[in-house]
Copies of this chain bind each other. A is one copy, B any other.
């Protein structure tokens, strides 16, 4: 941490700041420039509150030297974290495709999708039983009944299951039915939920909040990791910007940036990242080309009848075609599906 003093800060101001730093058990390093005096704090600044200093007389601003996350950083663990799921080692060379409908609607729909995605080469099925919805008048998910359907389909088709959990209380139940637990974008900073998942141990698919910075996403991952669970996949799913033609703006930069900042695997969700089924294929290919470790793709047997997010869902046949195209792109960047 570096404390920049105001142009007109007095020697007493400087002294008070350095005194407080020393009181807190850190060392200081003073540098007087032509226009400003700056004070360096030596030690692990993550334990210090910026505000404690920001409000002291003569302080102009605080600059961070260290990133605020530690366990999730590549500095801390240089090699990729690899998360095994139904035979795929996510984070390694092979790209994991997780596909399925936004919401579990009924047994017939789920068996139809499970069959289709399995045929297309998918090992991991995604579908939501608990659905957070913007409108109180929309379908809210089947809940426990949905989990039971997922359990049956898992058994029958030998697919791993990724499904969303929305309250800490549901974590034990959902863990019984799912192979990986998804944290939705609106819950990225639901800290009680992150705590519980950190203690729980099952792999977590953590979606970036639609207006969260990459640093905040990594801080949320740090919550889970610091509670003991390193099996965290980070998922870019589009951010909110001024552009309204697409529902969200898929932040493709996030893929290589996260790969450089953290050892955790990076998953891309082109379905939410665009909101339109006809943009899913190009953005899925782009994400693979940019280095994503996996994809989360919405597939529905009858998108126009879907109870949720139909507009961004692919039909099984379109999805099968995309899988073939993705294989080509994966190979072009030295990976495989």
Contact = CB atoms under 8 A, between A and B. Distances in A.
Interface of A: 2, 4, 7, 29, 31-36, 38, 40, 42-44, 46-47, 49-56, 63, 65-66, 68, 75, 132-138, 140, 166-169, 186-187, 189-192, 209-216, 219, 222-223, 226-227, 239-246, 249-257, 260, 273-274, 277-279, 282-283, 285-291, 303-307, 309-311, 325, 328-329, 331-333
A119 to B, nearest CB: 22
Number of copies: 4
A214 B243 contact: yes
A105 B278 CA distance: 44
20 contacts: A31-B40, A31-B42, A36-B66, A51-B309, A52-B305, A55-B303, A55-B311, A63-B65, A132-B189, A167-B169, A167-B192, A190-B190, A210-B211, A213-B242, A243-B254, A249-B249, A285-B332, A285-B333, A289-B329, A329-B332
Nearest to A184: B189
Interface centre among A169, A239, A289, A291 (most CB of B within 10 A): A289
A244 B29 CA distance: 28
Contacts of A36: 65-66
